[in-house]
Amino acid sequence: MMKRLAKDSFRIFPLIQAELYAASDKIAQTSDQQAAQNLLSLANQPFNHAERLFGWQLNAKGQVGHLLMQHRQAIAAELAGQWERADFFWNQVQIEFKAIAGAQLWQQIATEIAASKFEIMSDPQQVQQRLVDEIMIDTHCAFYNGWQQTEQLQDRAFAHIEYIEHWLPWSSINESAQALLEQPWKMQIQQCLEIQHWQQAIGICKRRLKHCPDVLEYQAELAAVHYSATMARLKSARSDAQYLRNAEKIQRGIKTLEALLKTYPCNLGIFELLGDLFHLKAIALGNGGRVAEALVSVQTAISYNPRQAAFYSTSETLIEQMQAMQTRFQTLCAEMAGQSNVSLNAAGVRLQAEVRQGFQPMNDYCNSSAAKTTAFAFSIAQAVQVWQMIGLPNPPNGWKLEIDRPPDHENEDLSQFAKGWNQLALQLWKALMVVLHQSPPNQNILTETWDSIVLREPALGGLNSKLIQQFLAARLWGEESNRVIVSPIPEGDAPILQPIASKRRRSIEPFLPWLCSRQDQRIKLQAIAASLAVIVAGGVIVREQGVNAVRDMAYQQILSAYQQQNDQQVIQQAEQFFDHASLSGKDARNQKVIDIYSESLVRWIAQQEKPDQTLQQRLDRYRTRMNTNKGDESP
């Protein structure tokens, strides 16, 4: 069950139920609760048809009423199992609310539904926020709880989690979203992992981090999903080529996690997963015969996680493998020394290339700044994890990597090379190790020991000593901390809306409301463009059909008049033929018409007694048509 953790001791709006917008006959209501009921009643305004469809030119009450009307219709559709219809209205509620969120409109609403004496509903910000928390978010909580009771419809339950996420920016619980959505997020991710829907799981992890960016566990779980996706792509290998293909797939996974580590540079879980991937890559490369590269990979794994004993064991195996290759190559060279016409085969060439590289690439990496920086960053991530285990607050802007340079030797004080919160976390880590090494026998001595450390390290004095000592006590004597991170939610108080239909019913978005809404604007523009294209194409086809009919008739009459030596008729029909040109401009009859037209025009001019205006006009029209058709060749 899921229930919003309300900061206030009582609700203002009515409890979520199927008849939420029905007239209330309760008389035992506070003034604020009565005002909230009045606000909900705005959904029942008598909107005309245009106002219902478009929601244009509405006053403040009308706009809020139109918003709540959409919410009422969404509840009805969801209860009936009409998901497509419900989704349209859920999205429409968010679109309309976003358009009026934070606007002067809420001041008008507060003034009209509540007097200044009201404690809550006279405050426009409270009106807006209470509406989001107690109506919008609680409605989706209720449907989540209802759908969860229908096991085969868990996906529909999870759809309401996404709707809640969309409301968080306007909610008072935005900063405590983890408490509300922790369990649903975890269940949804687990479901995706079980069916290996990696991209969907990654999307959920990213959405979760959008609302809770500083939770190290969420950061590490995103990396873990990428890790699992990489492992799922690996195939069983027997040949060198198959091992090397697996190494390439692992490398792609490494690149993904390295990019993630740049975003979350102090997350120990990502360091450990990268160490595992580099270790697996080293094994694949070693089995594929590329031992020199495998040695670099395993040393990189150790830099990312020096606490993993298996990495050192693999390193020793690879070192022995390289030494054996060097010995084998020396033996091969000795055997070939006394033979003049013998050369290395392909396997010998590969062996020679590996031996020439030898241990040099590994040594270069171990002495590099990259290796030292990675190892130093691991130490910081380790300290940050302990910091969070204690329960100390995170930096205001999250954990960043703040270092001057990596230390040159392992026994140096690491905190001297870090800055800001990194330095403080390392100082705390060092102090904890001192206390655990001294192992105070009881609480009094533990307190004295910690106080003496704070005197030497004043920067630690600003930290919560009670939490630190509770953590140390648990490590020293196994005492459980009484710190509660998230209060349990009693299931009996959780809102539930049980759908009437236990199965999905066929439905579509309401066409006219969808057409008049601001949803799917791209689809609508594409539809309009397609419709215009069809109309234009239809007009072109109709025009071409008419033009072709006129040209066909004119052509037949030109041939008939030419046979009868009726030059004037030929000229008139030729002008008609060329005046109705096809859009393509191509017609196999053009040249023949030009020849007949020219011949008939010459004879007609010769028959005229004297030039007049008609003759000049015919000549001008002839020149115009010839210029237009100049160079037009029959296909």
Reduce the DSSP state of residue 498 to 3 states and report it.
coil
Structure tokens at 14: 């009515």
pLDDT of residue 633: 44
Sign of the C-alpha dihedral, residues 475, 477, 479, 483? negative
Reduce the DSSP state of residue 369 to 3 states and report it.
helix
Structure tokens at 270: 């990502």
Structure tokens at 311: 């990495």
**pLDDT at residue 72 greater than cutoff 90:** yes
pLDDT of residue 516: 60
Segment 293-303 shows an average pLDDT of 97
Percent of the chain with pLDDT over 70: 88
Segment 63-81 shows an average pLDDT of 91
**pLDDT at residue 338 greater than cutoff 80:** no
Reduce the DSSP state of residue 301 to 3 states and report it.
helix
Instruction: At 418, give phi and psi (nearest 5°).
Output: -110, 170
Angstrom distances, CA of residue 142 to CA of 88, 146, 180, 207, 482: 19, 6, 13, 21, 32
**Cβ atoms of 188 and 197 closer than 8 Å:** no
How sure is the predictor about 49, in pLDDT bands with cuts at 50, 70 and 90? confident
User: Per-residue pLDDT tens for 235-246?
Assistant: 999 999 999 999
Angstrom distances, CA of residue 230 to CA of 263, 310, 328, 347, 581: 20, 20, 35, 30, 64
Total number of residues shown for the chain = 635
User: CB atoms < 10 A from the CB of 351, how many?
Assistant: 19
User: CB atoms < 10 A from the CB of 603, how many?
Assistant: 13
**Cβ atoms of 62 and 45 closer than 8 Å:** yes
Chain mean pLDDT for the chain? 85
**Over the range 83-115, which residues count as b (16 or more CB within 10 Å of their CB) and which as e?**
bebbbbbbbbbbebbeebeeeebbebbbeebbe
Structure tokens at 61: 């009450």
Angle between helix 105-113 and 31-40 (nearest 10): 120
How many whole angstroms separate alpha carbon 454 and alpha carbon 452?
5
* Highest mean pLDDT, choosing among 24-33, 382-391, 518-527, 554-563: 382-391
User: Per-residue pLDDT tens for 522-548?
Assistant: 665 766 677 777 777 777 777 778 888
How sure is the predictor about 480, in pLDDT bands with cuts at 50, 70 and 90? low
Question: Structure pTM?
Answer: 0.75
Residue 404 DSSP code: S
**pLDDT at residue 292 greater than cutoff 90:** yes
* Highest mean pLDDT, choosing among 79-88, 296-305, 347-356, 617-626: 296-305
What is the chain's Cα-based Rg?
40
pLDDT of residue 635: 32
Percent of the chain with pLDDT over 90: 49
User: Per-residue pLDDT tens for 404-450?
Assistant: 888 877 777 888 899 999 999 999 999 999 999 999 999 999 999 99
User: Per-residue pLDDT tens for 485-520?
Assistant: 444 444 446 788 877 665 665 655 566 565 666 666
CA 590 to chain centre: 61
Instruction: At 403, give phi and psi (nearest 5°).
Output: -135, 150
Structure tokens at 461: 């004095």
pLDDT of residue 518: 61
**pLDDT at residue 584 greater than cutoff 80:** no
